[in-house]
């Protein structure tokens, strides 16, 4: 193994030794010194544009941007001199001079990186006055609102859209004072190939990007005596929600979450993990059918709505590879408004279904055609709240989240398995499917249900398993840039896989666009997605049932209502179709 060359330098008089090629920003962190940033984002956006990270380097004629300036042997750096701090303060005050200052009512109040730095540096928000920008708000999509009047041109959103997702529908338009982030030719987001993943929102340091809120709709439904209101929560919400109430990253709060929802007045508090188990029954059956009957392979999962919109736009000629299964969210709503409505003796029009998701694209998914199992004009899902929106609703309703007891979900659609909960992480859908497919094909109980080869946060993972004498080669991708790699292989006729799982967000749903906002400093120095994923796998390991086909409520559902996986009735209620959109 080649020895790593180390570079020695001083930062604020402290001796530091770091690998050659490190930046001053990285070296300072090792010395226990935090340099503020607004544009820098590890691995995808090191452009030195915001000038908030400037430092003094002995011998340099001007201040340098720590995020892009490399260390050198014997370098002497000062990060906190009056000159440095005054420069940062002026930069921040200039940003504030053309910033829509509505901090009290802004969705990012108390989680805004610009606000935090302005406070730290004692900024006067009105020191510099002059011309100000006035951009129209883009709220043309059902999932996202963009307000360029709060944008600081850090370009993190541009980098996330291009580097994480290879979607690249936004960029810097115009020049000078008129520079702003927008789509080509000033088109609204609704008219371009935006997939709604929300990764731009999670990296934005201000309130320039946010999800389109449905909180008021849910409050109105809960207050409507004619509505029977049901809520279901996605797997990864339970390891994200606690962060909104000051718990450590990845804290599992399933019981408190159920208790909070019950205190809001929902008629039933269910778990979308149940529908994840249902998805495996349908998707696993579909995969077996394709393998045994010469169907289109590789089959690709269909749980992630941003991924579905991505393939519809970018690879419309490859839609036959998609599983026809609805996502767990949509299956949940479909079962509530058919099977459960019959059990309640209620007209599905009187049932209002709310899902709580880590994902902004779910707000788009509920509007798609062919998502109305109970009949025309009756959507499977009525409202989608992100994890962030649920936290706001809990606070607005005066519920003392941290003081709540741990309560259970309601039966029967609150019963789930470990296979259902791991849907929240990259590789989880694949592992859940393998647990069921392997036992269905062999008729034998697995010696171990842990398929660890498909775990982890690596962008693309692959594995091969011997299932009932069939060599099944699988791949898992998270982040749409990685999905593009696998789809290019398929389009070129070079894909060796039988089954592919794709999640649109890097690391899977635990890192979804609707999850709690974390600062760039946290993102740069903590593996947030791995931390949340560890809590998901811990939950899985502690479950009574760990395979979808063992879920007693799923068994009852098929016995009483659907018949068997893949039946005509199951197809009508639980499967869907896709659209060739193109670019």
Q: Which of 160, 179, 211 is the endpoint of a domain?
A: 211
DSSP-assigned states of every residue in 60-108: -SS-EETTTPBP-TT-EEESS-HHHHHHHHHHHHHHHHTS---TTT-TT
Give the count of domains, the chain: 3
Tokens matching residue 453: 């080869």
Q: What integer pLDDT is reported at residue 1 of this predicted model?
A: 60
- Do 457 and 348 belong together in one domain? yes
DSSP-assigned states of every residue in 357-373: ES-SHHHHHTTSSS--T
Q: What integer pLDDT is reported at residue 583 of this predicted model?
A: 79
Residue 46 maps to which CATH number? 3.10.20.740
Residue 124 maps to which CATH number? 3.30.70.20
- The conformation of residue 248, written as its DSSP 8-state character, comes to P
Q: What integer pLDDT is reported at residue 26 of this predicted model?
A: 97
Quick check: 264 and 393 in contact, CB under 8 A?
A: yes
- Do 67 and 121 belong together in one domain? no
Three-state secondary structure string covering 383-450: EEEEHHHHHHHHHHCCCCHHHCCCCCCCCCCCCCCHHHHHHHCCCHHHHHHHHHHHHHHHCCCCCCCC
* 97 within some domain: no
Peptide bond just before 550 cis, omega within 30 deg? no
pLDDT tens, position by position, for the chain (583 residues)? 678 899 999 999 999 999 999 999 999 999 999 999 999 999 999 999 999 999 999 999 999 999 999 999 999 999 999 999 999 999 999 999 999 999 999 999 999 999 999 999 999 999 999 999 999 999 999 999 999 999 999 999 999 999 999 999 999 999 999 999 999 999 999 999 999 999 999 999 999 999 999 999 999 999 999 999 999 999 999 999 999 999 999 999 999 999 999 999 999 999 999 999 999 999 999 999 999 999 999 999 999 999 999 999 999 999 999 999 999 999 999 999 999 999 999 999 999 999 999 999 999 999 999 999 999 999 999 999 999 999 999 999 999 999 999 999 999 999 999 999 999 999 999 999 999 999 999 999 999 999 999 999 999 999 999 988 999 999 999 999 999 999 999 999 999 999 999 999 999 999 999 999 999 999 999 999 999 999 999 999 999 999 999 999 999 999 999 999 999 999 999 999 999 998 7
Q: What integer pLDDT is reported at residue 350 of this predicted model?
A: 98
DSSP H or E run through 356:
strand 351-357
- Do 302 and 232 belong together in one domain? yes
Quick check: 229 and 266 in contact, CB under 8 A?
A: yes
* 95 within some domain: no
- What span, in angstroms and rounded, lies between the C-alpha atoms of 76 and 53? 16
For residue 133, give its domain range.
108-211
Q: What integer pLDDT is reported at residue 582 of this predicted model?
A: 83
Q: What integer pLDDT is reported at residue 3 of this predicted model?
A: 84
């Amino acid at each position: 193994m080649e020895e790593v060359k180390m570079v020695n330098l001083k930062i604020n008089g402290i001796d530091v030794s770091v690998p050659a090629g490190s930046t001053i920003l990285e070296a300072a962190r090792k010395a226990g010194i935090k340099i503020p940033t607004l544009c820098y984002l590890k691995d995808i956006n090191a452009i030195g544009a915001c000038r908030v990270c400037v430092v003094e380097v002995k011998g340099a004629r001007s201040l340098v941007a720590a995020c892009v300036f490399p260390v050198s042997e014997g370098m002497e750096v000062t990060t906190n001199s009056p000159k440095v701090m005054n420069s940062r303060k002026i930069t921040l005050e200039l940003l504030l001079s053309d910033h829509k200052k509505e901090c009290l009512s802004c969705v990012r109040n108390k989680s805004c990186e610009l606000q935090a730095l302005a406070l730290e540096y004692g900024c006067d928000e009105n020191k510099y006055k002059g011309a100000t920008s006035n951009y129209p708000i883009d709220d043309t999509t059902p999932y996202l609102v963009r307000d360029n009047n709060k944008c600081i041109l850090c370009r993190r959103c541009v980098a996330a859209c291009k580097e994480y997702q290879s979607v690249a529908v936004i960029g810097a338009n115009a020049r000078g004072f008129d520079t702003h982030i927008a789509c080509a030719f000033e088109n609204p987001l609704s008219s371009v190939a935006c997939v709604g993943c929300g990764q731009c929102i999670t990296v934005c340091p201000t309130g320039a990007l946010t999800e389109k809120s449905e909180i008021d709709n849910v409050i109105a439904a809960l207050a409507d005596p004619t509505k029977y209101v049901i809520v279901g929560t996605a797997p990864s919400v339970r390891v994200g929600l606690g962060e909104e109430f000051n718990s450590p990253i990845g804290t599992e709060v399933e019981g408190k979450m159920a208790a909070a929802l019950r205190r809001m007045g929902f008629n039933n508090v269910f778990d979308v993990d149940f529908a994840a188990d249902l998805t495996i029954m349908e998707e696993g059956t579909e995969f077996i059918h394709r393998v045994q009957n010469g169907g289109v392979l590789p089959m690709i999962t269909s749980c992630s709505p941003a991924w579905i919109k991505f393939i519809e736009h970018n690879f419309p000629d490859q839609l036959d590879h998609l599983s026809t299964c609805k996502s767990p969210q949509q299956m949940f709503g479909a079962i509530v408004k058919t099977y459960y409505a019959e059990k309640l003796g209620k007209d599905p029009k009187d049932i209002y279904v709310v899902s709580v998701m880590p994902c902004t694209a779910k707000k788009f998914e509920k509007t798609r055609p062919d998502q109305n199992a109970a009949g025309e004009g009756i959507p499977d899902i009525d409202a989608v709240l992100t994890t962030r929106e649920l936290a706001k609703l809990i606070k607005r309703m005066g519920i003392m989240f941290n003081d709540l007891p741990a309560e259970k979900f309601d039966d029967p659609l609150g019963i789930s398995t470990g296979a259902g909960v791991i849907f929240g992480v990259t590789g989880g859908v694949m592992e859940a499917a393998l647990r069921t497919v392997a036992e269905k094909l062999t008729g034998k109980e697995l010696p171990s249900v842990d398929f660890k080869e498909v775990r982890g946060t690596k962008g693309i993972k692959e594995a091969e398993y011997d299932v009932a004498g069939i060599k099944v080669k699988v791949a898992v991708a998270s982040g749409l840039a990685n999905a593009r790699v696998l789809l290019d292989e398929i389009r070129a006729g070079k894909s060796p896989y039988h089954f592919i799982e794709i999640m649109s967000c890097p690391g899977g749903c635990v890192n979804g666009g609707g999850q709690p906002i974390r600062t760039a400093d946290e993102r740069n120095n903590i593996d947030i997605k791995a931390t949340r994923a560890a809590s998901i796998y811990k939950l899985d390991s502690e479950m009574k049932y760990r395979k979808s086909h063992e879920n007693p409520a799923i068994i009852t559902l098929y016995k009483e209502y659907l018949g068997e996986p893949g039946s005509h009735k199951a197809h009508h209620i639980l499967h869907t179709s896709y659209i060739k959109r193109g670019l």
